[in-house]
């Protein structure tokens, strides 16, 4: 009999390969058909181990979901980077490997991040999602998020509309 422990913790240097793998697989699944193929591939190729090493050193929190010893998801978060979101805190990215989506790990990760932010006095939270990403919109609405500001963002040089989901 095999038992696997699932935990959520802060990312560390040993997670660089896992973070790259999650980003690669989840972006291919989430944005195929939304971000044109060549642009998507260019974006994915920039998120190598060196990029993640720099991200860890910049100090913005990154939490990982680990099952067994495998990183299956992550969330990057902190104080809001953009005034247009209108919140104190922001989840920059929340992604899981496609085969781990739909089993509650994303909800657990979201709650853990939200609790960490609240512990630091940041109760009002926002998350941006590309408008055409119906799955992400449904996920955030299912967590109680209310659609808020809409802006045009440049992703890989392409103008794409995004919507902010507000919590708290």
Phi, psi (rounded to 5 degrees) for 87: -125, 170
pLDDT tens across 64-97, in order?
A: 999 988 999 999 999 999 889 999 999 999 999 9
Q: Which two structure tokens, joined as six digits, stand for 117? A: 């932010």
pLDDT at 82: 84
Output the pTM of the full model. 0.94
Statement: residue 3 has pLDDT above 80: no
Q: Are 85 and 66 in contact (CB under 8 A)?
A: no
Q: Which two structure tokens, joined as six digits, stand for 82? A: 């953009």
């Amino acid at each position: 009999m095999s038992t696997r422990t699932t935990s959520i913790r802060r990312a560390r240097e040993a997670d660089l390969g896992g973070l790259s793998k999650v980003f690669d697989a989840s972006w291919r699944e989430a944005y195929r058909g939304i971000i044109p193929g060549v642009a998507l591939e260019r974006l994915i190729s920039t998120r190598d181990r060196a990029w993640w090493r720099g991200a860890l050193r910049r100090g913005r929190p990154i939490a990982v979901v680990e099952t067994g010893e495998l990183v299956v998801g992550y969330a990057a978060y902190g104080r809001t980077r953009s005034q247009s979101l209108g919140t104190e805190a922001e989840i920059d990215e929340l992604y899981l490997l496609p085969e781990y989506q739909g089993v509650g790990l994303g909800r657990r990760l979201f709650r853990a991040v939200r609790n960490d932010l609240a512990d630091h006095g940041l109760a009002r939270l926002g998350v941006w999602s590309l408008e055409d990403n119906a799955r992400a919109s449904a996920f955030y609405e299912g967590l109680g998020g209310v659609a808020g500001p809409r802006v045009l963002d440049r992703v890989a040089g392409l103008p794409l509309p995004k919507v902010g989901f507000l919590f708290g």
